[in-house]
Structure 1
């Protein structure tokens, strides 16, 4: 039976900072997302990463999303430097990606730092060697499986396991019930906090949450595939819980992706309280 991830499971992914910490020991996340066509993805991912709790976010992207990111979150560092994890691909279109950008992304995917691979970078992830968390939705997963030569499947758990085994990466299949699988077959599921979460931009928020957790973990202990899978599941749980809190704050009504990001500090605080 596949495990269902819980608040207590998610609590193991969070660390409360101490007086001995600094911005580097708390984790530095590099984010290379967004485009001139979809700049909001960069803003949402950066916002979510900061609000999940880490020491620094470095954003590297085109000029338009960079300006929007800095206007919203001026503490973001828009310059290259050391990082402990990456988020790539959100708000990008592989058909519009330049050769130079493809080379940069392939370089990141060949390094040692863990990479959360979303949306427009999924086409580069299969043959990579970096520790990876792939975060496709159903249609992106179908395209990825087709490119890998895998048959269509009506069983999302079995399909996610198969994709993880074939790519050597953790795979997080987004949906009303999110499925997370590690290459060794370990699998868990996370229930959505609310159906209102099915709205534009929430996947960009999820990528930022997971990236923050991975960067924080990598700052103290380099995560292996099983640890990355647990961090991905914990990120999905926090994301869903934040969505539930955001909806509850408006009487159970509709929410936007930015609402979810803004509810993350409370979600993190509630999870830390059960440790």
Structure 2
């Protein structure tokens, strides 16, 4: 059998029944802390909208609290548009969250320092965009991640991640792969393989985003694949929104595990990532309620996240 086809067969389609099992509903005894606290480091003076999209998506996804770590200007933007979020400029005064959502639009020296610091913290995290190069550099210098991460690259970002690892630690790269770093078009030809390969190389759960997204685990053979309902998601800001949903779900799952005195497994991280992609797809589809879709700005998609979650349990 073609080994690439064999790898593709390791990915199963994520279903509505899976989604019903993986979204944690609140109970009468829950409060904001048992529902999870998500820390967000996203956006910058250059890309303020990324922070707003990630934060708004997280709030609409059911997490107990969102703590946004920004600048004065970014915090004002968040306060005006997402009054539920708790904003601060000082990491020292910010309690440690149940999970981080970090990287979307987080450019500049100050945001870079925060991203590097978060990578050193033993807190589960969803890493996107600007956090991905720092994560790859950390893997190259320190080995596979010791605290679990969900990384969310598209093919171009994955090429950059693998380039960093191969350049900084060719021994590590050669232990896992005897060939050159794949170009973006090579990754697009075999996304299932490269998602799985990167998961095992880095020790992280890997969501390789695309029209069909592949989610691979560092320890489990099986992963998930999810196909978008249409192609209107190919727009700036979609990844920021997805990372906010995923961060919300991760914080809630980690908070529940903490209260029950157990740790999340690699399967849990896999399913958190898959459930977030599924809800993102459903929210996008709800914007127009037809098979072919239409323009779906991420700022509009955020308004449909809560409805998409509710509908899963009303069927």
TM-score, normalised via structure 2 length: 0.81
Task: Check conservation: 1:85, 1:215, Cα contact below 8 A.
Answer: yes
Asked whether the 8 Å contact 2:41–2:106 carries over to 1, the reply is no
Tell me if structure 2 keeps the 8 A contact 1:168–1:183.
yes
Between stretches 257-266 and 184-193, larger displacement belongs to 184-193
Report if the CA contact (8 A) 2:151-2:207 is conserved: yes
**2: distance between equivalents of 1:92 and 1:186?**
32
Highest Rg: 1 or 2? 2
**Equivalent residue, structure 1, for 2:245:** 209
Q: Which residue of 2 aligns with 1:173?
A: 208
Distance 1:187 1:64, change over 3 A: same
Report the counterpart of residue 40 of structure 2 in structure 1: 31
Higher mean Cα deviation, 121-130 or 5-14?
Answer: 121-130
* 2:181 matched residue in structure 1: 151
Which structure 1 residue ranges, 5 or more long, are not aligned?
none
Range with bigger deviation, 228-237 or 122-131: 122-131
Structure 1 ranges of 4+ moved more than 6 A:
none
Give the CA deviation at 1:225: 1.9
Q: Partners in 2 of 1:250 and 1:140 — Cα distance?
A: 30
For these two proteins, the number of residue pairs brought into alignment is 270
1:220-244 CA distances to partner (integer Å, 9 max, x unpaired)?
1132222101100110111011101
2:34 match: secondary structure: coil
How big is each residue's C-alpha offset from its partner over 1:12-41, in whole Å with a ceiling of 9 and x where there is no partner? 221221221110001110001100010000
Aligned equivalent of 2:197: 162
2:106–2:112 Cα contact (<8 Å) kept: no
1:251 CA displacement: 8.9
CA distance in 1, matches of 2:68, 2:199: 28
Cα RMSD over matched residues? 1.8
Query: Which residue of 1 is the match for residue 101 of structure 2?
Result: 87
* Change beyond 3 A, Cα 1:263–1:249: farther
Aligned pair in 2 of structure 1 residues 230, 251: CA closer, same or farther (>3 Å)? closer
- Cα 1:273–1:223 change in 2 (3 A) is farther
Partner of 1:235: 276
Report Cα offsets for 1:76-96 as digits up to 9, x if no partner: 111312310001100123xxx
Deviation of 1:198 after TM superposition, in Å, equals 1.2
The partner residue of 1:195 within 216, 231, 236 is 231
The CA deviation at 1:201 is 0.6
- State the 1:246 CA deviation: 1.1
Structure 1 residue 258 corresponds to structure 2 residue 293: no
CA contact (8 A) 2:53 2:237 kept: yes
- Structure 1 counterpart of 2:135: 125
Please say if residues 33 and 90 of structure 1, whose CA atoms lie closer than 8 Å, have aligned partners that are also in contact: yes
1:110 maps onto 2:120 in alignment: yes
Normalising by structure 1, what TM-score? Answer: 0.93
The separation in 1 between residues aligned to 2:23 and 2:150, in whole angstroms, is: 18
**1:220 maps to what in 2?**
256
Question: Match for residue 153 of structure 2?
Answer: 136
Q: Secondary structure of the residue that 1:3 maps to in structure 2?
A: strand
Following the alignment from structure 2 to structure 1, what is the Cα–Cα distance between the partners of residues 133 and 71? 20
Change (3 A) 1:255 1:84: same
After TM superposition, give the deviation of residue 45 of structure 1 in Å: 0.4
